[in-house]
Structure 1
Amino acid sequence: MTAVFLYDGDCAFCSSCARFVEKRIPTRADVAAWQFRDIAALGLTEAEVDAAVQWVELDDAGRPDGRPVLAGPAAIAALLRDAGGVWRPMGALLRLRPVLAVAWPLYRWVARNRDKMPGGTAACALPQAQRDSARETD
């Protein structure tokens, strides 16, 4: 494992996308729900992982290697580049500033509407704090 790609495991749409990655995109990264990782040890906050997918490069001991953490479309670009093959050029394209400039608003729109996406549920629309409090009252 050279990196970890974190997604929101409480979101059905995000989990569906992660399953697609695991089945179809041969990345060396650990594709994991952030709820099952020690995000503080990875240098991340709950607000960051709740806002966007994250890509964290790791050293041989499994700790962040000091490179900047990538979020949203930049994280997806890193995952695609890491996968190689036909995915590498797509990741390289997504990494370009003009493409990222368009990708970020699109990513934010999808994130705001993930409950309406295929596989999404009403719980996908709630911020993490509200999902946590709903669990506590169940």
Structure 2
Amino acid sequence: MAVPTFVYDGDCSFCATCVAFVERRIPSRARLVPWQFADLEALGLTVEQCEKAVQWVGDVTASGADAIALLLRDAGRMWQVAGVALQWGPMRLVARPVYRWVAEHRHLMPGGTPACALPQARCE
């Protein structure tokens, strides 16, 4: 099985802080790659998708809360339980809008900066 890839916004301090936590605490096999340095075409992703949400590219492709759930499931043990829970119907109904709200307000989150709010495709 190929190594999955978790793609995030490397220009967002909040995202980078979250990924640093993942690297320290969550033993996933996934490559954690900022979209700015990823071969998006090879991954089948667009800049717009990556600006909107984190992405998981593996046997399946997912974004946002579903991508986080797959990252957790890939880590095994207690993390797998959390990943399965995020994909469970009632929890998914909550996780998706919560993820969207956090993504839209990431510049206000701990570690976030005003740069986190800027869509990269529109920056010059």
TM norm structure 1:
0.85
Structure 1 stretches of at least 4 aligned residues deviating more than 2 Å after TM superposition = none
Aligned AA (1:21)? V
- Distance in 2 (CA, whole Å) between partners of 1:21 and 1:7 is 12
Q: RMSD value over aligned CA atoms? A: 1.1
8 Å contact from structure 2 (residues 4, 57) kept in 1: yes
8 Å contact from structure 2 (residues 5, 31) kept in 1: yes
Output aligned runs, 1:43-58, within 5 Å. Answer: 43-57=44-58
Runs (5+) with no aligned partner, structure 1: 58-66, 134-138
Matched, 1:110 2:110: no
- Distance in 2 (CA, whole Å) between partners of 1:26 and 1:48 is 25
Residue 97 of structure 1 deviates from its aligned partner by: 2.1
Partner of 1:60: none
Partner of 1:18: 19
Q: Deviations over 1:100-137 (max 9, x none)?
A: 11111111110111011000000001111233x1xxxx
Indicate the structure (1 or 2) with the bigger Cα radius of gyration. 1
Output aligned runs, 1:86-105, within 5 Å. Answer: 86-105=78-97
Q: Deviations over 1:58-109 (max 9, x none)?
A: xxxxxxxxx4410001000000000001101000000112211111111111
Runs (5+) with no aligned partner, structure 2: none
TM norm structure 2:
0.95
Percent identical residues: 54
Partner of 1:130: 122
